[in-house]
């Protein structure tokens, strides 16, 4: 259950980033619209430019955090809330057990054939 809540939290964080990107585009549109006017409102431009810069820095930081997390998951490094590495280790152990059974079966068959002859 904890894994699902962590995944939902990560998805919510990505949705927040998406909304913030939308706000960035709106700020940029407002600045462009204001710059297209004959007489620009300097205060509005300053506010929108500051909001744009702050939002871009926040989005960059959040995306970097998401990328770091995904890098940890993809490389199997331990990280909070994931059992990927443990599951992968277990799967590999089961495959080794199956391979050992197969080889033991081959050895048993060979021994039986040698005893028959």
Q: Tell me the domain boundaries of the chain.
A: 1-77, 79-116
pTM comes to 0.56
pLDDT at 57: 93
DSSP secondary structure string for all residues of 57-106: HHHHHHHHHHHHHHHHHHHT---TT--HHHHHHHHHHHHHHHHHHHHHHH
Residue pLDDT, tens place only, 72-112: 777 766 555 666 677 788 888 888 888 888 888 888 888 88
DSSP 39: S
The closest of 104, 75, 101, 98 to 88, measured between CA atoms, is 75
Residue 22 has pLDDT above 60, yes or no: yes
Residues 6+ apart with CB under 8 A from 72: 78, 79, 82
* CATH fold for domain 1-77: Methane Monooxygenase Hydroxylase; Chain G, domain 1 (1.20.58)
Taking the CA atoms of residue 89, residue 95, residue 100 and residue 102 in that order, the dihedral angle to the nearest 10 degrees is: 180
Taking residues 31-43, what's their average pLDDT? Answer: 89
pLDDT at 82: 62
Taking residues 12-33, what's their average pLDDT? Answer: 90
Taking residues 55-73, what's their average pLDDT? Answer: 88
């Amino acid at each position: 259950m904890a894994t699902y809540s962590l995944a939902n939290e990560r998805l919510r964080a990505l949705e927040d980033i998406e909304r913030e990107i939308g706000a960035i585009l709106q700020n940029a549109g407002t600045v462009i619209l204001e710059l297209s006017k004959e007489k620009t409102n300097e205060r509005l431009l300053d506010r929108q430019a500051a909001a744009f810069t702050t939002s871009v820095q926040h989005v960059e930081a959040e995306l970097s955090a998401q990328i770091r997390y995904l890098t940890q998951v993809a490389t199997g490094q331990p990280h909070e809330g994931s059992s990927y590495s443990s599951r992968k280790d277990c799967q590999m152990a089961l495959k080794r057990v199956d391979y050992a059974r197969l080889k033991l079966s081959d050895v048993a068959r060979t021994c039986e054939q040698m005893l028959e002859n």
